[in-house]
Structure 1
Amino acid sequence: MSSTHYEAQPESNSFLTFKDCFARRIISQPGFDDADLDDFTSYLAFEAWGALSQHLRDASYETRSSVPDIDSISIETTPHSVTETLTAYGLASDSESCQQLMRKIVEDYIKQACAPPPVWSTTRTIECEICEREVPLTYHHLIPRSTHAKVLKKKMHPESIINSVAWLCRPCHTAVHHMATNDELARSYHTVELLLGREDIQKWRKYAARQRWGVRRG
Structure 2
Amino acid sequence: MAMLLEDQHKNYELFRDFLSTALIEKATQPEPKARRRAKSKKVTESTASRPTSENSLKDAEDLADFVEYIAAETFESLPGELKTLDYYAYSKDGDLQDRYALPFTGADVGALIPSLDPSITESLQTYGITHEDRQGIDEFLAPVLTAFMASISKLPPAPSSTKKTVTALVKRGWHREEDLQNVAWLCGACHRFVHHFASHEELARYYYTVDLLLEQDEIVQFAKWVGRLRWKGR
Task: Please indicate the TM-score interval, normalised by the length of the shorter structure.
Answer: 0.3 to 0.5
Q: Which has the larger radius of gyration?
A: 1
**What TM-score, normalized by structure 2, do the two folds share?**
0.44
Looking at secondary structure, tell me which structure has more strand per residue. 1
Higher RCO (CA < 8 A, seq sep 6+): 2
TM-score, normalised relative to structure 1: 0.47
